[in-house]
Structure 1
C-alpha cells in the first residue's frame, strides 16, 4: 500500500509526526490508526512511559504489541488501517537479546510491509551520527541499526528525517 520511514534522534518529534500522519490518513480512509508497539514493560520507568504514550494517543487508536513478531502484526492490517511501528530500533534490540537472526527477521518484516493491506509508517532512531560506542555490544547495535535503517529506507516510498521537531523530506 504505502511505506514511509521517519528517522531522527531522541526526542526529535518522530513519534508525534508519525502519529499525526497516521491519524490524518486513517480519517481519509475511514479506518483506524494502529500503533504497533515494540516496547516491553520490563521495568517501572518503561511501564510509566507506555502508559503515558497510550494516554496521549487516546481511545481512537488500536494498539498491537509486537516486541518480536513484527511481520505478523503488519500482515494483519486491514486495507483501511494506517499503522505506526514505533520503533524499529527498540525492535532490533529485542531481537538481539532474543538472539534471533536480524537479517532474517528484517527480511520477514520488509516482506510483510511490501504486501501490507494498510499503510505502514516506521519510526526509527538514527544512532550512528555520534561518538563511537566504547563497548562491542553497543557498536554492534549501532552497526545493525544502520544496516536495518538503510534497508527500510531503500524500500520506503517516502523517507523523512526529524531535526528539532522539523521534518525534512529525504525521499522522494
Structure 2
C-alpha cells in the first residue's frame, strides 16, 4: 500500500528504493543494463531540447583507481565495476540543470535493474578538468558528475527529513 492509499506505482517504488551505494560486489554490470541506463539518461528533460551532454563509461580498474585518487569524496570509485561520467557543453546556458536531470535518470535506470550507484560531484571540483583530460573529452565539455555503480554489497540508508518539515503550500510560514 502506498502512503496515500491504493496500490503502489512501479516508478514511485523505484524512486523510493534508490539509496546511495558505496560498497559493491565484484560482479560486472551487464552491457544491456549499461545501455538501458544510458538511454534513460539521454531521455532526460532538457532546456530548449539542447541535450548538451556527453556520457562516458569506465570499467578499466586502473582508470577507476586514477579517478578515485582524484575525487576527494569518491575513493570508493576504485571498487565499483563501472563508473559513468556525465559531461555538459560549457557554452550551453542550462548544461548544469540538464546534466543533473540526466544524472538522476541514469541512476534511476540503474536502480530499476537492481544496480546501486552514488552521485559524486564533478562540477565545481578541482579534479573536474583532470578527469576530463584523462578521459580525452574535448575542452568544450565540463564534468558534471561521476556515478560509480554496481550490485550492492552493502546499503546504508540515510535518514531523510519528513515531508511536513520541507513542504509548504502557497506561501511559506514559520512553524
TM over 0.5: no
Q: Report the TM-score, using the length of structure 2 for normalisation.
A: 0.28
Q: Report the TM-score, using the length of structure 1 for normalisation.
A: 0.28
Q: Which has the higher strand share?
A: 1
Q: Which has the higher helix share?
A: 1
Larger Rg: 2
